[in-house]
Amino acid sequence: MKVAIIGVGTTKFGEHWDKSLRELAIEAGTNAIIDAKVRGSEIDSIYLGNMSAGRFIGQEHVAALVSGELGLSIPAVRVEGACASGGIALRQGILSILSGQDDIVLAGGAEKMTDLMTDGATTALMGAASQEWEAYYGLTFPSLYAMIARRHMFEFGTTREQIAKVAVKNHHNGSLNPIAQFNKEITVEEVLNSTMVADPLTLLDCSPITDGAAALILCKAELAKKYTDNPVYIIGSGQASDTLALHDRRSLTTLDATVKAAQVAYKQAGINVDDIDLAEVHDCFTIAEIVATEDLGFCKKGEGGKLLDEGATELTGRIPVNTSGGLKAVGHPVGATGVKQAIEIVLQLRGEADKRQVKDAKIGLTHNVGGSGATAVVHIFSR
């Protein structure tokens, strides 16, 4: 399997009071088209990740909205998979090229979340959880991930300080990323002493509510050199599902959908976990990064906290994780996150990540999760 990425584009992530979803999506899409040096008439289809524009801004039919604003009368499809919407949009773009249907595809994601007050945004986001068994009883995503954290601490002795180190590391990386919502470094003490949200997770353990958009231009591998001397190739793509409600899962400390999606992606790529040079994983909450590093095989189950103590996931570590700053520092506009992750890997493999650059990066991985793990998408990229 091989599909090329020839262009990337993104907005800055944050609170865009002066920009609409349409404007954000067009900015990212236009930047990607310019970067790829393609004409709009060469694009065969659009796949747009968007979780909940209807709830956030009252706008449905967003794929047609974007294609119309770009002046493209081509097939445009909105893809929804909760917080994994962007990753699935990318996967659908890959599949459309591999099927032979399309030669060039725009795969993007966009979300405008800050037009709602926090209560409204929380309600919209809980649409990604079980309404009958979770939302009805007052659960929120911070409380669901807090249960995962508590169980992880109980089963494996993971410490509160280890969990906090995820936020510290990712804020450091975010301080080096010009598109990040938060460019300020923080300390373990600041994480531990910030406002309690759902014990043991505090405010600084949680990714923020964010506006933003991101886009990629994909093409057939054999066409890539027509447009760029430095293409990045997608060599593996896996997606898997699990139960929507957390209480139906086999385990609270393993996201089986991640494990299965990763297995498919590794097999497609013809590599094993030791070949991965860096990864962007879904750190919607700090504990989520720890669980992801275990489920992806970067360490044994229960040893994700030790990776942080050893510095293994830092920019100069054995397996740098969330070099962009992750969802925690860059922000989490839910429909765009999976595409933003891919853009960070592309920049790293091109050697264009500036102060975040991982030395000699050749193979990268992205991991995008919907809800509390009901959907997971894993992509593998190579120079």
Return the biggest CA–CA distance within the chain.
56
Report the distance separating Cα 305 and Cα 79, nearest Å: 34
Cis amide leading into 200 (omega within 30):
yes
Report the distance separating Cα 235 and Cα 380, nearest Å: 6
* Amino acid letter, residue 360: D
Distance set, CA 243 to CA 31, 130, 158, 185 (Å): 37, 9, 25, 36
* Amino acid letter, residue 326: G
* Amino acid letter, residue 105: V
State the SS3 of 127-160. HHCCCCCCHHHCCCHHHHHHHHHHHHHHHHCCCH
Confirm whether 332 is a catalytic residue. Answer: yes
Cβ neighbours for 36, distance < 8 A, ≥ 6 positions apart: 6, 7, 217, 227, 228
Confirm whether 83 is a catalytic residue. Answer: yes
Positive/negative CA dihedral, 45, 50, 55, 58 = negative
| CA 383 distance to own-chain centroid | 20
Report the distance separating Cα 157 and Cα 304, nearest Å: 11
Burial class (CB in 10 A: 0-12, 13-18, 19+), 71: exposed
Among candidate residues 83, 206, 219, 299, the one labeled active-site is: 83
Residue at token pair 């068994």: 133
Among candidate residues 16, 152, 282, 332, the one labeled active-site is: 332
Whether the Cβ atoms of residue 340 and residue 10 lie closer than 8 Å to each other: yes
Enzyme catalytic residues: 83, 332
